[in-house]
Structure formats: structure tokens, C-alpha cells
Amino acid sequence: MIVVYHHQNNVTTVIDLHKGKTISIPDRQNIANCFLKLAIDYPDRLLLWCATDYQKELNIEMLSVLFSHEKKMLSYGMENFIPDAIGYVDESLFINPNRKIVFPTWQMHSDVGGIYSETLNALNGLKADPNFAYFLCSLAKRGMAAGLECCSEPLLLRDYKNKEIKTNPKASYKLLFRFVKQHYRSRWIFFLLLNLWLYERKIAVIPFIRSMFYKRRMPFRQSLNTISETITDIQPFDIDVIIPTIGRKMFLYDVLKDLSIQTRVPIRVIIVEQNPEVDSKSELDYITQESWPFEIIHRFIHQTGACNARNIALSFVQSEWVFLADDDIRFQPDFLENVSQEIGKSGGKVFTICCLREGDSSSYENRFQWGTFGSGCSIVSREAILGLQFDRRFENGFGEDADFGMQLRNKGYDVWYLPQPKILHLKAPVGGFRFQPVLEWQSDIIQPKPSPTVMLFRILYHTKQQLSGYKTTLFIKFYKQQSDKNPLSYYRKFRKAWSQSVHWANVLKER
């Protein structure tokens, strides 16, 4: 391990912890250049940075545990370098990490952190920046697309809960606009300029103009594929499957058949069948009429709602892993076998798996940190979901998947996207919302827009700037779709619909 200690954007000391000696560095005024040179000179080391204020607090004893594989970049600090205004153009959860726990983010901090030399050398086209914090954020933002695991990790410091973390300067508007221009599509600098004026009455024309002279830095994508991964075979791979179903008898039968021929057969399959008709009976006769290589737990209820059904199913889980499945998917006989190998590579606990319709193609080829969660195509460890439930405030609406993902992250479990093995989603024409629920706002004269459950998720987990940016984007998007092209009358209608959505979201929030 090599530690670069720095102060006020200058290198002070570089220490090789393995040999217990100081390394001479000619250029002390550019920390990023120092890191890139060290990566070349010491290609098999873990490179760390640490502000001199926290030199005695660096948790050296935990480093080998925290940096468990080469495709990992961790840092810690209490404040984001890129300011909250980034929310006007970025809706992802990565911009505002929960600093109390390990949490996925590209908002790297210059106080303390680390990355492997092998990773830096694999990221072709990486350029040093005189501002070290900007360099770290840019590296993480581009690296996450290639499968670089980037997190805020408080355990990098000893007794971090009781430490007084000093305030660091945030990026100026000049750096903010530059960051947006270099890491997002060009149109977003216009949105940033507009939203700063709309919601903060800030005029940032000069930073906006200057940013136009920068080129976009593309995500690294395939750069980390050269780094080999160790596969830890999970033996035994005990797994339960939970499936809520409604009116999809034959589709569910195919799912059970796919599960029955797996090279790693699940221990039990938990089915919650719903039919709101009081006198109705289960139509799943094949559960008892045929023989299955796993235990089937079947519950038939007269209440519809995927959140309620999944919560019932979760209460029966006993195995170490859980496959949250839909009732209209198909997969290959080696599906669970391949998933277990992917789990062994990363050491993760939560995985959402590529689930596409026939003919669709995915633009993702790497395993990477996922910004949402799929409740019908995910495999999760039992320890991660212990004590969690799908929030029934989202019942019969949208957003319960993303909310469950946020519950997992706020518990300290990251969500990974697996491009392989794939799941085929049939998108069966029956089931789901076939029994149309009566929503509380359904009879309102002014219909809420967006859906109150969508608004609820954003109120719960998004920053003020993200919510405002979403409002602007939605205003423009809906203007193209509706017939009233008078900007003033459309604005009045949109404002009322937005207010109605906020009202109902707050009603749901209080439940």
C-alpha cells in the first residue's frame, strides 16, 4: 500500500507502507499526476490518498477488508465536492450519498480514499486535473459505467462517528458547468442555466459560455475488462423463489418448469396467488397434481397488490438467497448456476438481472452499480432483506421497486446490474392491472401529474434541486404531448396538476 498525504491540493508526503519508507515525488503541485505516475511505477499496489488533517485517523487495519477486489474505489468526507445544483440535471441517487453508511456514489472526496494501480492503468485516456477533487469525481463518474465499484465508505477513518470533519470548498459554478459539459450530453448545460435562474434567480452566463469549449469525456465502458476476476464458487447455493401471480396460470407453469430443470434447483418456490372475487378458487391445479423437485408454498388471497403479495411471500423465506421473480419470465437451465458465479466474482448481496422482451437488446455489457431495482428480476441475500418490506404506500401505483432498492442501500447493501445471464420477459397480456384498482384521486377534477406514487418516491429520496429539475423536464415533455399549445394556459394547467400530485404524495407520505 502507498499513501499520498496532501494539504491544500499539494502533495506533502508519499509513504510506502509495505516497505516503510518515503517515496520521492518531483511534482508536488498536482496530486492527480502523482497518482498516475505512482500507478505506472507500482502497478501492483493499492494507492491511497489522505489529507494531512486525518493522517492519524486513517484506518490502515481495515484497508485490506474494505478494498476486497481491484475494481473498487472508495473515499470518505462529509460534504459533496460537486454542489447540490447538479441535481438540476442528474436524477440519479448517486449524487447525494448517505454518508453514515457505505453508499454508492461518484461523488468522491479528497479527504481520504483509495484505488488500485491496476485499475488506474486500465482506464485508457485518463487525464490528470489540477483540482484533485474534480479529478476523483470525473474518474468515478466515468468508471462506474465500466464496473468500477465507487462508494462513500466511512470506515476509512477510525471512529468516524465522533470525528469533526472539516468543511472543504465546493466546486465553483465554473467547475460545475464544466463537469456537466464533460460528463453529460451538451443539452444539460442549457437546462442547468435555465434551472439556476428559475429556482435560484442565479445568472451564470459566463460559466455557461466557458463550458462550451470543453469536450465530453465518455464513459470508460470496456476498460476494466482486462482485469481478471476470481470466481468464488458458492456451495451450496441455497435459494428460495418468490412469485406473486394473478390470472397467469400457464405463464406461471412455464416458470415453474424452468426452475425444475435448473442445474442448481431452488429449495422452495413461494407463490402468492391473487383473485379479488370473493367466491373464486385457485386455478393452479398443477401445483398438487404434478411432482416438483422443490417445495412449493402456495397462498391464495382475495386481495390484489404486488407489494402485499411479495411481503407475504418474504415471510416464508428460509434460504440464504432469494430470487424475486415475475410470473411471465423464461430463463435457461443454467441460469441460477451462472448467477451464483457472478455473485462469487463480486461478493455483492443484491443483483438485478438483465430482463428484456424478445428482440430487445441491452446497451450494457458490464456488471455495474445499478441506479434502481427490479422486483421481478432480482436475486438478493436473505441478510440484506431481513426486516424490509415493500412499502404499501406504492400499492397499485409505480415506484415500489425503486423504493425497495433505496431501502436496501440505506441498509448498506449496494444493487448490482448483471448483463448476463439474461431473463426473457414475455410481458403477458393478462394479470398485473387486469383488476383495475380504484385510486383515491381518480375522481378529482384536476388529475395529478405525475402519478402521486412517482411523486412520493421523489419527495422521499430526491434532493430539492432534483425535484425542481424533474419539474422543468416534465413541463417540457408534456407540452409536446398535449393539444393545448398556448404556453400560458398550459403552464396554469401543469402547475395545478403538479400541485395536486404533491398534495396526494404528502397524503401517502403521512400514512
Q: Which secondary-structure segment (H or E) carries 155?
A: none
Quick check: helix, strand or coil at residue 300?
Answer: strand
Q: List domains and CATH numbers for the chain.
A: 2-225 (3.90.550), 239-425 (3.90.550.10), 452-509 (no CATH)
pLDDT of residue 165: 63
CB 74 within 8 A of CB 168: no
pLDDT of residue 435: 60
- In the chain, what percentage of residues exceed pLDDT 90? 77
Beta bridge pairs of residue 360: none
What's the rounded Cα separation, in Å, for the pair 130 and 175? 12
> pLDDT-derived band of residue 461, with 50, 70 and 90 as boundaries?
very high
pLDDT of residue 166: 66
C-alpha cell at 27: 511534482
pLDDT at 468 over 80: yes
What average pLDDT score do residues 193-197 get?
98
Q: Which secondary-structure segment (H or E) carries 21?
A: strand 21-22
What's the rounded Cα separation, in Å, for the pair 283 and 303? 16
What's the rounded Cα separation, in Å, for the pair 298 and 241? 12
Q: Model confidence over 46-93: pLDDT tens digits?
A: 999 999 999 999 999 999 999 988 999 999 998 999 999 999 999 999
pLDDT of residue 365: 84
Where b means 16+ CB within 10 Å and e means fewer, 102-128 reads bbbbbbbbbbbbbbbbbbbbbbeebee
pLDDT of residue 364: 84
pLDDT at 481 over 90: no
pTM of the model: 0.93
Q: Model confidence over 218-277: pLDDT tens digits?
A: 988 777 888 877 767 777 889 999 999 998 999 999 999 999 999 999 999 999 999 988
pLDDT of residue 433: 46
Q: Model confidence over 330-366: pLDDT tens digits?
A: 999 999 999 999 888 888 999 999 999 998 888 888 8
Quick check: helix, strand or coil at residue 2?
Answer: strand
pLDDT of residue 351: 97
pLDDT at 432 over 50: no
Name the nearest CA neighbour of 320 among 295, 335, 340: 340
CB atoms within 10 A of CB 236: 10
Q: Which secondary-structure segment (H or E) carries 362?
A: none
> pLDDT-derived band of residue 458, with 50, 70 and 90 as boundaries?
very high
pLDDT of residue 162: 65
